[in-house]
């Protein structure tokens, strides 16, 4: 198939590269000329395991190309994927200006029958809005072309997106009732990745749009539930890891997303929870559960402040080392990352902050240019009064603790992801003061 991808951000680039890898001819379009020039040189603007190799391979085999010519992009594809950003507005609702702009561009240039696919995360009713905009532009030109608008939300986890694309839990496709042509086209496109136990689920567009928000809101709810419970565990001396394990053994609950930490971040959960809240309120319905999830997460990001003060007494003039800056491992994404809240609070309170992250340093440096950044994990520890484990990259899991202690001025550790919890007694014997999340001193 000939496919056009509008938007070369995280969703667009991963989708475009992977669709090309399935044997399709893919043209990725973007208004950002610098990004397109970068991709044409074979460089990758985002870090995602396995993506660079497939980008190189499919470009070399002429299945993948890039352009800033949007008219050319519309004319190219039989399937036109809308994969542009949908940022949150100040009020928390979803800003659809980029989606609407692509819809207008399609309507202004469409010269053949096509299937338009909403891949961006969008609120309920967006497919109808896209359909209306395209039809209005066609009417202005006094031309007629058969087109379908399909909702096909993505469920790609950053750090595992390539694998998720080829091995999805499910493929959700929303389309108009009776649109057999679009159903056949999308069914054929995803036939090779669908499985008996991981099906293509066809539904209406509104349900498909809501499935994405509802899924992310449920996962975010589980995280906030455990994080809020972890603070109660600390207060009464219980162990959140034992609580999590005991809950997870209940088959009705399961063990996934019951781990505690310092809050969720990234491009999906925070924005999607806020977007769902905004959409629910616009419909005149109660959103109190989701508002509580969002509020609990923001509070959790700040939960380390008291731990930092407990470890250091006065924060001013102390050096604090951060291990990990991305919102989770295997990505360079720092959007809504807890590290940003922690770093800003430390700076505002007069701390000297040093940090290391395997992939996110470049992005973090743009937001925090005055922080010192190490080239390897141990460099930021020199003379540090406190080490905070923020992101659980594998490189941090088994450090040389003797070297860590020797480098630090004071051997204080706050384990924001509980990856050292299993041998905290060993750390205490080595002379470290250790604090985890959701674990009382007696647990």
List, in order, residues 6 or more apart from 440 with CB less than 8 Å away: 233, 234, 235, 236, 237, 238, 239
Which residue is it, tokens 């069914």?
Answer: 187
Q: What is each CA distance from 117 to 4, 22, 443, in whole angstroms?
A: 10, 17, 51
Q: Which helix (H) or strand (E) holds 275?
A: helix 269-282
CATH classification for the domain delimited by 2-203, as one of 3.30.460.80, 1.10.10.10, 3.40.50.720, 3.90.1150.10: 3.40.50.720
Kindly report, residue by residue over 376-395, the tens digit of the pLDDT.
999 999 999 999 999 999 99
As to burial, measured by CB atoms within 10 angstroms (0-12 exposed, 13-18 middle, 19+ buried), residue 252 is exposed
pLDDT at 91: 73
- The order of strands in the sheet holding 412-415 is 372-373, 352-356, 319-323, 386-389, 412-415, 433-435
Distance CA 185, CA 183 (A): 6
Q: Which helix (H) or strand (E) holds 117?
A: strand 114-118
pTM: 0.90
Distance CA 157, CA 437 (A): 24
Q: Which residues pair with 149 in a beta bridge?
A: 116
Angular region, 321: left φ>0, alpha ψ -120 to 50, beta rest: beta
Q: ∠ CA 14-17-20 to the nearest 5 degrees?
A: 145
pLDDT at 196: 72
Token output for 65: 């190309």
Contact 321, 384 (CB under 8 A): yes
Which segments of the chain have a pLDDT < 50? 443
Residue ranges of E strands in 10-110:
25-29, 64-67, 79-82
List, in order, residues 6 or more apart from 312 with CB less than 8 Å away: 318, 320, 385, 386, 412
| Fold annotation for 204-443 | Rossmann fold (3.40.50)
pLDDT at 442: 52
User: Where are the CATH 3.40.50.720 domain residues in the chain?
Assistant: 2-203, 204-443
Distance CA 371, CA 321 (A): 10
Distance CA 326, CA 319 (A): 20
pLDDT at 52: 96
* Count, residues in the chain: 443
User: How distant is the alpha carbon of residue 353 from its chain centre?
Assistant: 25
pLDDT at 443: 47
| Residues noted as catalytic | 268
- The order of strands in the sheet holding 64-67 is 64-67, 25-29, 2-6, 79-82, 114-118, 147-151, 171-174, 200-203
Angular region, 213: left φ>0, alpha ψ -120 to 50, beta rest: alpha
């Amino acid at each position: 198939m000939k496919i056009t991808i509008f938007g070369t951000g995280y969703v667009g680039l991963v989708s475009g590269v992977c669709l090309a890898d399935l044997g399709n001819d893919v043209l990725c379009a973007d208004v950002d000329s610098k990004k397109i020039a970068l991709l044409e040189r074979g460089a990758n603007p985002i870090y995602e395991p396995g993506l660079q190799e497939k980008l190189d391979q499919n470009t070399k085999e002429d299945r993948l190309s890039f352009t800033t010519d949007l008219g050319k992009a519309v004319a190219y594809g039989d399937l036109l994927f809308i994969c542009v950003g949908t940022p949150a507005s100040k009020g928390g609702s979803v800003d659809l200006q980029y989606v609407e702009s692509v819809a207008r561009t399609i309507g202004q240039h469409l010269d053949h029958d096509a299937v338009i696919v909403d891949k961006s995360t969008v609120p309920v009713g967006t497919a109808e809005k896209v359909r209306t905009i395209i039809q209005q532009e066609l009417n202005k030109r006094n031309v007629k072309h058969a087109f379908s608008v399909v909702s096909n939300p993505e469920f790609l986890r950053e750090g595992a997106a390539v694998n998720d694309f080829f091995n999805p839990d499910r493929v959700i496709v929303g389309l108009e009732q009776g649109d057999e042509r679009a159903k056949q086209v999308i069914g054929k496109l995803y036939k090779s990745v669908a499985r008996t136990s991981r099906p293509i689920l066809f539904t209406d567009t509104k349900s498909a749009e809501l499935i994405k928000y509802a899924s992310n809101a449920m996962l975010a709810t589980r995280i906030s539930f455990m994080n809020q419970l972890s603070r109660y565990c600390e207060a009464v001396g219980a162990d959140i890891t034992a609580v999590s394990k005991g809950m997870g053994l209940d088959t009705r609950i399961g063990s996934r997303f019951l781990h505690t930490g310092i809050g969720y971040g990234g491009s999906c959960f925070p924005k999607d929870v806020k977007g769902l809240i905004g959409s629910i309120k616009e419909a005149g319905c109660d959103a109190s559960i989701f508002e509580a999830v969002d509020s609990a997460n923001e509070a959790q990001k700040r939960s380390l402040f008291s731990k930092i003060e407990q470890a250091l007494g006065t924060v001013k003039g102390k050096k604090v080392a951060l291990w990990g800056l991305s919102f989770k491992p295997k990505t360079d994404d720092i959007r809504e990352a807890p590290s940003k809240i922690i770093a800003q609070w430390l700076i505002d309170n007069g701390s000297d902050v040093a940090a290391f992250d395997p992939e996110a340093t470049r992005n973090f440096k743009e937001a925090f240019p005055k922080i010192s950044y190490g080239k390897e994990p141990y460099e930021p520890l020199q003379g540090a009064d406190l080490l905070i484990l923020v992101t659980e990259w594998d490189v941090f899991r088994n450090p040389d603790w003797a070297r860590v202690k020797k480098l630090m001025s004071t051997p204080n550790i706050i384990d924001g992801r509980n990856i050292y919890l299993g041998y905290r007694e060993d750390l205490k014997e080595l002379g470290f003061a250790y604090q985890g999340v959701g674990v009382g001193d007696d647990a």
